[in-house]
Amino acid sequence: MELTDDLLLRYSRHILLPEIGVAGQVRICDASVLVVGAGGLGCPVALYLGAAGIGRLLLADGDAVDLSNLQRQIGHGTAAIGENKAASLARSVRAINPEIDVQPIGQALADAALHEAVAAVDLVVDASDNFATRHAVNRACVLLGKPLVSGAAIGFSGQLAVFDSRQAPSPCYHCLFPDHADEPELRCAEAGVVSPLVGVIGAMQALEALKYLSGAGEPLIGRLLLWDGLRAEARVMRVPRDPACPVCGPAALQAG
């Protein structure tokens, strides 16, 4: 797309960065992103990606806004209680940037609907809150060759990784966290979460997405970032691809 004078002004602080510049901002404006989840992580992800000028933003969530969400889900206001989260968040993004196309998907994506949404975008951000969804999104991204920015937050701790199965060194989500359906998982509703933590991890997810799409810096591919909010410490671990992975391993890709 061509940046008008108004868009040059709107995105001028990006354009001033030599790592982004006009060419990188045009790539951002031409990009499409699917955000799976419009809750604690999805809110900052969508707000920052929308403000940054992502041309087409798909927001998927089947839940409704609840009073207990408002402590951390900054894309929803009190008046949105009872409203679908994707619709509420889309309205908040449009209020920040009416120049972009924001499409709410008011349902939990699965099977054919998930594959259709993943196929329609350049990059996927997993901002969901359960392993089943994360593994389903990961499988769709591997199958369709789409980069995936994954984040999670609970208590005072968060994690972040970027996956791109088209790159040989990149693991997939299953390589790090094998799918064990019988294992219990912690949810914010049971374990709690400090409100700014989802903002920290969500903002980093948005940053990784923008880096990937604009070509700036080095995406967090093949690495896992662990954030300890109580100690204000971050650790980055290198994670190899599992050659026997049933999702992204050679045998699985050939079968697919």
pLDDT digits (tens, 9 = 90+) for 126-174: 999 999 999 999 999 999 999 999 999 999 999 999 999 999 889 999 9
Q: Extract the tokens encoding 97.
A: 């940037």
Whether the Cβ atoms of residue 244 and residue 232 lie closer than 8 Å to each other: no
Residue 10 lies in a domain: no
Task: Say which of 29, 141, 172, 188 is annotated catalytic.
Answer: 188
Residue 66 lies in a domain: yes
Tens digits of per-residue pLDDT, 15-50?
999 999 999 999 999 999 999 999 999 999 999 999
Tens digits of per-residue pLDDT, 48-85?
999 999 999 999 999 999 999 999 999 999 999 999 99
pLDDT at 254 exceeding the cut of 80: no
The pTM (predicted TM-score) of the whole model is: 0.95
Residue 234 lies in a domain: yes
Distance CA 103, CA 57 (A): 6
Residue 25 lies in a domain: no
Query: Per-residue b/e over 95-134, b at no fewer than 16 CB within 10 Å?
Result: ebbeebebebbbebbeeeebbebbeebbbbbbbbbebebb
Residue 6 lies in a domain: no
Distance CA 191, CA 202 (A): 19
25 DSSP β-pair partners: none
Domain CATH code at residue 92:
3.40.50.720
Which structural domain range is residue 235 located in?
31-255
- Residue 43 known to be catalytic: no
Please count the structural domains in the chain: 1
232 sits in the region (left: phi over 0; alpha: psi -120 to 50; else beta) called left
Residue 42 lies in a domain: yes
Residue 1 lies in a domain: no
Distance CA 118, CA 132 (A): 16
pLDDT the model gives residue 169: 82
Residue 112 lies in a domain: yes
Please enumerate in sequence order all residues whose Cβ is within 8 A of that of 122, keeping only pairs 6 or more positions apart, or say none. 31, 32, 33, 146, 147, 213
